[in-house]
Every structure is written in C-alpha cells, then in structure tokens.
Amino acid sequence: MSELGLIHVYTGNGKGKTTASLGLALRACGHGFKVAMVQFMKDDPEYGEFKAAHFLPGFKIIQVGRNDFVDLANPDAVDVQLAREGWRLAKDLLDSREWDIVILDEINVAMACGLLDTEEIAAFLTAAKREVEIVLTGRYAPEKIIALAHLVTEMQEVKHPFSTGLEARKGIDY
C-alpha cells in the first residue's frame, strides 16, 4: 500500500498514548491491514490488549521487557538487554514488508531513560522509505523523534484518578 509510510508519535504526560495506538490498530485491522505492536518494558500476559489481540485477525503483540517497573533513573542491565532485543525485533518487523503498521509502544520512554539510542533509532527511521506506518508511543519523546515525525500528538493530563490514590483498573488502564 504505497500511501503508507508516515511516522506517528503519541507522547505527553496524559493517559491515552497506548490506547490511541490500539484504536489505530483496531481501525486498520477492520480494513484488512496487518498490524504488529512491540511493547517495550512490558511483559504481562494479563494486559487486556495482549489478551484481546488473538481475537483480531492481522494483529500481533510482542512484549519485550519484564513484568516489573523499570527504574528510569538507573535501569538494570537486563532492561537494557531486553530493550535492545526488542529494537532488533522491531527493525526486522519494519523491514519485513509483512506489516502495514508497526507500533513501538513505550519506545519513547526507552529512549529517554537510555535503554535505546535515540540517534540510532532516528537514523534507522529516516534511512529508507518504508511502506509501513510507524507509531512511537510513550512519554518523553525525544526532540529528534518529534522533528522527523509526520504526526505528533501530545496527551496532556488535566485530571486523573491516580492523583487521588485510585490504582490502575483492569480493563480500563491495562
């Protein structure tokens, strides 16, 4: 599909970045597109989107991380290793010509905390014209990534129940 090939960035401190990419995936699959999502820094088969993916033909989610929070100020070596393995996988997906859309969920955070190299990712994304839509999600999108993107949406938190102590809710937040 030659009309594909734009880069999207969903970033900001508000809720909805992964959710927006999942909405795009749902819409695209409804039109027969094939969508792959690589979830960086995540490894939880209880995430609703992970459980639901097998119900949607043409949609695949691959989690690359561990089921624990990453210390963004001082990530463990295993987090770096898993992120780099995920990036190698993402590059293969992007170059495979098998997918119409590839979502790199939380890759912005992985770059911001040093798990992945922003320069390397930016160079890869601009090195070749690919006929695949690429979506990068997560807080802290690097300026270099924002500059090369065709579409940038910043989710801004105005009010969130977390601030009142309400914990993440199954089916709503994960």
Is residue 83 exposed (0-12), middle (13-18) or buried (19+ Cβ within 10 Å)?
buried
Of the listed ranges 23-32, 126-135, 157-166, the least confidently predicted one is 157-166
Which pLDDT does position 87 carry in this prediction? 98
Q: In the predicted model, is pLDDT for residue 138 greater than 90?
A: yes
**HEC readout, 9-68:** EEECCCCCHHHHHHHHHHHHHHCCCCEEEEEECCCCCCCHHHHHHHHCCCEEEEEECCCC
Q: In the predicted model, is pLDDT for residue 113 greater than 50?
A: yes
Q: Quick one: which of 137, 136, 138, 140 has its CA closest to 124?
A: 136
H/E run at residue 101: strand 101-105
- On whether the CB atoms of residues 141 and 13 are closer than 8 A, the answer is no
Which pLDDT does position 1 carry in this prediction? 43
Which pLDDT does position 51 carry in this prediction? 95
- The full set of domain ranges for the chain reads 7-158
How far from 161 is each of 41, 104, 138, 158, CA to CA, in Å?
A: 23, 26, 19, 11
How far from 57 is each of 8, 25, 32, 54, 90, CA to CA, in Å?
A: 23, 11, 8, 7, 20
Which pLDDT does position 110 carry in this prediction? 98
Which pLDDT does position 129 carry in this prediction? 85
What is the rounded average pLDDT for all residues in the chain? 95
Which pLDDT does position 164 carry in this prediction? 86
Distance separating alpha carbons of residues 167 and 94, to the nearest angstrom:
35
- 48: confidence class by pLDDT, cuts 50, 70, 90: very high
* 7-158 under CATH 3.40.50.300, yes or no: yes
Sign of CA dihedral 68, 15, 49, 28: negative
pTM: 0.94
- On whether the CB atoms of residues 80 and 50 are closer than 8 A, the answer is no
